[in-house]
Amino acid sequence: MSKLQKKDVIQLAKDIIGIEVAALNSLKKSLDENLYSLCKRINETKGKVILIGVGKSGHIANKIAATLSSTGTPAIFLHPSEGMHGDLGVISKFDIILLISNSGSTPEILNILPNLEKKGCSIMSLCGNRNSKIYEESDLSIDISVKKEACPHDLAPTASTTTALVLGDVIAIILMKMKNFTAQEFGENHPGGQLGKNLNLKIKDIMHKGKDIPILKSEKMLKDALFEMTKKNLGCVIIIDHNNKASGFFTDGDLRRVIKKSIDIHNTKIKKIMNKNFLFCNEDDYATDTLIKMKKNKINSLPVLDKKKKVVGAINMHILVNSGMR
């Protein structure tokens, strides 16, 4: 039994990572028009993508199917043995089969291949052996061969599975770009957990409403704005005209600048110093988009207005962060 010292373990880890990185660099250099053709055909299909693999390749196929489905490309994993016992019924002629095999001679895949061909659907593969039946029988194939595995015996699938996994991510992201798949669409596929909350949360779900909105008539004095800001504790006040429409916005930052100018807070009307050209958001805006807008413009608070510019709420950075936004 080998006793590895700490320095040996660290060096071994670096060597293993080096082998896997080298495999990825080789994949990067070998990519050609087949990748474009594969992605284009998947993007244009009226059906779904059926991922098929066995063993470690099966696990990778399952993961790729999950990634594709969550990023806008319907996909499922089918184990070839299960397919031979009834699950072939899930396949239609509009589907695309994507086989994953490092050897190119996986028996279970070879057994089911004639049945897949009878379905009349397109068959493509990620294959590690150009001189194999799976590679040759595929309508289109991408070479995922590696010079060596990270395994010291060059046996356990390691670098080869990493290569297939990364290529799966490549395909999924390219398809996202082709489909113009948005963050909101991603959120619709991920309704659960913090991720789903972040992507589906709307301003109306977290904004201050009703009596909690810092609001002030335009004829009021600056001192009144100071009191309202302090009372509502949002660092801002929304100024409204005689029609109750937002006509201005005033923040604690504006207040600090006003104080530096020694402006009389008791005898200066807020309409004289308020911001008339201000940013705002709508209650149906996504919180993620609003956060991006606020960060981009370096502002800490926003009024929430309806289509008629009537005030329906107020939001600030603190509320967004407390709701889980980052």
DSSP string, 55-80: THHHHHHHHHHHHHHHTT--EEE--H
Answer whether residue 189 is part of any domain. no
What is the predicted pLDDT for the residue at 115?
95
Query: Are 48 and 114 within one domain?
Result: yes
Lowest mean pLDDT among 104-108, 185-189, 287-291, 310-314: 185-189
Assess contact for 157 and 15: CB atoms under 8 A. no
What is the predicted pLDDT for the residue at 191?
80
Q: Strand (E) positions, the chain?
A: 49-52, 75-77, 96-101, 122-127, 140-143, 215-217, 236-240, 246-251, 301-305, 311-316
Answer whether residue 227 is part of any domain. yes
Other Cβ atoms within 10 Å of 231 Cβ, number:
11
Q: Looking at residue 156, what DSSP letter applies?
A: S
Question: Please, what is the end-to-end C-alpha distance for the chain in angstroms?
Answer: 49
Amino acid at 17: I
Please compute the mean of the pLDDT values over residues 127-140 and round it to a whole number. 96
Other Cβ atoms within 10 Å of 9 Cβ, number:
10
Assign 186 a pLDDT band (cuts: 50, 70, 90). Answer: confident
Number of folded domains in the chain?
A: 2
**Residues shown for the chain:** 326
What is d(CA 140, CA 35) in angstroms, rounded to the nearest whole number?
9
Answer whether residue 25 is part of any domain. yes
For residue 45, the number of C-alpha atoms closer than 13 Å in the C-beta half-sphere is 25
Lowest mean pLDDT among 67-71, 133-137, 184-188: 184-188
Amino acid at 187: G
Predicted TM-score (pTM) of this structure: 0.76
Q: Which two tokens stand for residue 260?
A: 């530096």
Residue pointed to by tokens 């998947």 = 42
Query: Are 58 and 167 within one domain?
Result: yes
CATH code for the domain in which residue 266 is found: 3.10.580.10
Amino acid at 227: F
Other Cβ atoms within 10 Å of 140 Cβ, number:
15
Among the listed residues 175, 164, 136, the one whose alpha carbon sits nearest the alpha carbon of residue 38? 175
Query: Are 89 and 235 within one domain?
Result: no
Query: Are 149 and 213 within one domain?
Result: no
Query: Are 208 and 246 within one domain?
Result: yes
Query: Are 245 and 291 within one domain?
Result: yes
Average pLDDT of the residues of the chain: 93
Query: Are 258 and 295 within one domain?
Result: yes
Residue 289 burial (10 A CB sphere; 0-12, 13-18, 19+): middle
Assign 188 a pLDDT band (cuts: 50, 70, 90). Answer: confident
What is the predicted pLDDT for the residue at 41?
97
Among the listed residues 229, 244, 266, the one whose alpha carbon sits nearest the alpha carbon of residue 311? 244
Answer whether residue 194 is part of any domain. no
Answer whether residue 188 is part of any domain. no
Assess contact for 75 and 50: CB atoms under 8 A. yes
- Residue 291, domain extent: 203-322
What is the predicted pLDDT for the residue at 1?
56
Answer whether residue 186 is part of any domain. no
In degrees to the nearest 10, what's the CA dihedral of 85, 57, 117, 50?
A: 80
Answer whether residue 192 is part of any domain. no
What is d(CA 268, CA 280) in angstroms, rounded to the nearest whole number?
25
Query: Are 286 and 208 within one domain?
Result: yes
